[in-house]
């Protein structure tokens, strides 16, 4: 069966399929955040600001001087979150298993495609640590850490 036939079959079997509720578990991210990126090798750091906002699909992200773009998208039918990145130099989608805050998927950065895993950890109050690991030679290797601290 193709995608349209599978979708029609799902609708026929579940009359309430299209009314699955949205998940608001990441809405606490809404607000202004400072971020610090620490790259493992070659070692270097970068800093900046990010504004997150609740959106009908999940969470949007906006850097200063840029338009808001989807960041976390909730698939209410599979009950999973997807972390989406879409910029001219980097794009991809990392998906978390139901109820998890570890996102995995394929990403392309400046023409180089990789398998990436991003794990979220809560630090001190108003702080989130994102660890990015790349699948290299059969194992996960830490490539950078991104620490967000709420402003204000």
Q: Total domain count for the chain?
A: 1
14 within a domain of the structure (yes/no):
no
CA torsion angle 130 135 136 140 (round to 10): 60
Predicted structure pTM score: 0.85
110 within a domain of the structure (yes/no):
yes
2 within a domain of the structure (yes/no):
no
pLDDT of 113-138, one tens digit each?
Answer: 999 999 999 877 789 999 999 999 99
7 within a domain of the structure (yes/no):
no
pLDDT of residue 143: 97
Structural domain boundaries enclosing 128: 23-150
40 within a domain of the structure (yes/no):
yes
Q: What is the DSSP letter of 28?
A: G
Q: What is the CATH number of the domain that holds 72?
A: 2.40.128.20
pLDDT of residue 11: 78
DSSP string, 47-90: EEEEEEEEETTEEEEE-TTS--EEEEEEETTTTEEEEEEE-SSE
pLDDT < 50 regions, the chain: none
- The answer to whether the Cα torsion of 93, 67, 30, 22 is positive or negative is negative
Angle, vertex CA 66, rays to CA 61 and CA 72, nearest 5: 15
49 within a domain of the structure (yes/no):
yes
Measure the CA–CA gap between 72 and 21, rounded to whole angstroms. 16
63 within a domain of the structure (yes/no):
yes
9 within a domain of the structure (yes/no):
no
């Amino acid at each position: 069966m193709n995608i349209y036939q599978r979708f029609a079959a799902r609708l026929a079997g579940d009359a309430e399929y299209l009314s699955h509720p949205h998940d608001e578990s990441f809405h606490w991210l809404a607000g202004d955040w400072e971020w610090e990126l620490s790259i493992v090798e070659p070692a270097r750091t970068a800093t900046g600001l990010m504004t997150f906002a609740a959106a009908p699909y999940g969470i949007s992200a906006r850097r200063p001087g840029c338009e808001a773009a989807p960041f976390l998208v909730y698939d209410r039918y599979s009950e999973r979150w997807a972390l989406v990145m879409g910029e001219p130099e980097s794009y991809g989608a990392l998906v978390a298993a139901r109820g998890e805050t570890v996102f995995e998927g394929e990403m392309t950065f400046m023409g180089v495609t990789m398998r990436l895993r991003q794990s979220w950890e809560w630090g001190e109050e108003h702080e989130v640590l994102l660890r990015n690991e790349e699948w290299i030679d059969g194992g996960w290797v830490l490539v950078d850490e991104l620490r967000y601290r709420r402003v204000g």
